[in-house]
Structure 1
Amino acid sequence: MIITTEEDQIRLGKIADSEYEIYALLKQRYSPRIFREEKIKSGHIKQLFEAARWTASSFNRQPWRFIYAEKGTEAYDKMVDCMSDFNKSWAVNAPLLILTAYKEKTEEGKENFHALHDLGLSVGNMTVQAQYLDIALHHMAGINWEKAQKVFDVPEGYHVSTAIAVGYYGGNMEDLSEDLQESETAERTRMPQKDFAFEGKWQS
């Protein structure tokens, strides 16, 4: 690989140093706070949601729901306004924003205990598809979900969960504060497998 730009250097440095070999797209994925100033192609948007559509779900209930908006639209500005101040400081670099939500109950009116699990699987599918398209997703918990419910007229029985900043990898580091620039180039870390994968019984 010939390293020619700052973007190349950052992306090379972000490749996961996995203990065991895993799928290349998973190793290359990371969550940037800068993106190229380029609209997401409409076909690529459809591919992202198609990947989510074919996610496994409990009893095939498919409880995930999404609202999306392009930069420059009123809906986009409303999404930004629902975010935490920290996320507002950089999410405006993304050409596309998504709100995720899930259906809280089953068709029988019972709590769907697995709805959040299924929503997580769907955005996982979307993330891998995005990586294949050279699109970065930055998932955000920092959102005022109650405000978003009202602003976007989310009906009773559905719960806004997270937001996602979406854009093609790239962008200008100068669009970030000095602190965030340091974060953008920081080494990635993960806990070792022994701390979360236990054989036979739970281990302290």
Structure 2
Amino acid sequence: MLKTNSIEKQTPTAYPIYPLIEERWSPRVFSNKAISEQQVKTLLEAGRWAPSSSNQQPWRIIWGIKGTETYDRIFNCLHKFNKGWAGNAQVLWACAFKKDMQNGTKENFHALHDLGLFMGNVCMQATSMGIAVHQMAGIDFKAAQKEFNFPDNYHVATAAAFGYYGGNPHELDDELKKQELEKERSRNPQSEFAFNGNFQ
């Protein structure tokens, strides 16, 4: 585990879980350490081996390393709120999925789920490398679709910011800094989402 984290986060799990899952979290500040193209392709390779419905692999990723034109093009598609912090990330992705099956005759209702599985693999691989991932719904999907020439049967669903743990939270505005410095992560208890029987 290569993680060097200047902010300690506690994950109060009800049951023991795999350490990479317990240690992963989504900062809004990152260290200045660069991420190489080889490291980006390692992350993509981890995602590549995610399961998908009928092995359709509907995910499509546009990636850019800080200092490149592609990075700036992705950044320009982000919503204003995310532009306020994401510029300190070393890598940006725009994450899309193909909405129909390979032959184009019917909708792929599982494509968004499969993109999520792809990014789950990416997040675990990144955490093992000491790299943090912050995923964002705040991307102008219409602007991104046009900017990157996606056909109509693709949807740009999310963006993701990557950087090594260890950024300075005092670079953020007061509200985001408060969130960043919170010691304990939180999740809904299992009783609110998992039912051994009927939905409750």
Smaller-chain TM-score bracket: over 0.9
Change (3 A) 1:47 1:15: farther
**Which whole-Å CA distance do the structure 1 matches of 2:70 and 2:39 have between them?**
20
Is the 1:35–1:169 contact (alpha carbons within 8 Å) kept by the matching residues of 2? Answer: yes
Look up the match of 2:98: 103
Q: Which of 56, 59, 79 in structure 1 is aligned with 2:54? A: 59
Percentage identity across aligned positions?
50
1:15 is aligned, of 10, 13, 18, to: 10
**Bigger mean CA deviation after superposition, 127-136 or 78-87:** 78-87
Q: Which residue of 2 aligns with 1:195?
A: 192
Amino acid at match of 1:154: F
Q: Which residue of 1 aligns with 2:127?
A: 131
Spell out, residue by residue over 1:145-182, the C-alpha distance to the aligned partner (whole angstroms, 9 max, x if none). Answer: 00110111112311111000001111222321122111
Match of 1:154 among 150, 153, 166: 150
Moved more, 191-200 or 65-74: 65-74
1:84-121 residue CA offsets vs partner (Å, 9 max, x unmatched): 11100000010100010001101232000000010000
Letter in 2 for 1:124: G
Q: Show the counterpart of 2:73.
A: 78
Match of 2:116 among 116, 120, 124: 120
The more displaced of 82-91 and 35-44 is 35-44
Counterpart residue identity of residue 135, structure 1 = I
Q: Match of 2:34, SS?
A: coil
Q: How many positions carry a matched residue from both structures?
A: 195
Q: Is the 8 A contact 1:70 1:96 kept in 2?
A: yes
Per the alignment, residue 166 of structure 2 pairs with 170
1:35 to 30, 33, 48: 30
Distance 1:61 1:131 in 2: 26
Q: In the alignment, which residue of structure 2 is the partner of 1:182?
A: 178
TM-score by length of 2: 0.93
Q: Greater relative contact order: 1 or 2 (C-alpha under 8 angstroms, separation 6 or more)?
A: 2
Distance 2:199 2:135 in 1: 29
Query: TM-score of the superposition, structure 1-length normalised?
Result: 0.92
Question: Does the 8 Å CA contact 1:15/1:29 hold for their aligned counterparts?
Answer: no
Deviations 1:30-68 (A, max 9, x none): 000011112212222111101111011111000001000
For residues 145 and 188 of structure 2, the distance between their equivalents in structure 1, rounded to whole angstroms, comes to 34
Moved more, 147-156 or 193-202: 147-156
Aligned-partner Cα distance in 2 for 1:107–1:153 = 19
What CA RMSD, in Å, does the superposition of the two structures yield over aligned residues? 1.3
Provide Cα deviations, 1:9-32, integer angstroms capped at 9, x if missing partner. x2x3x2311011000000000000
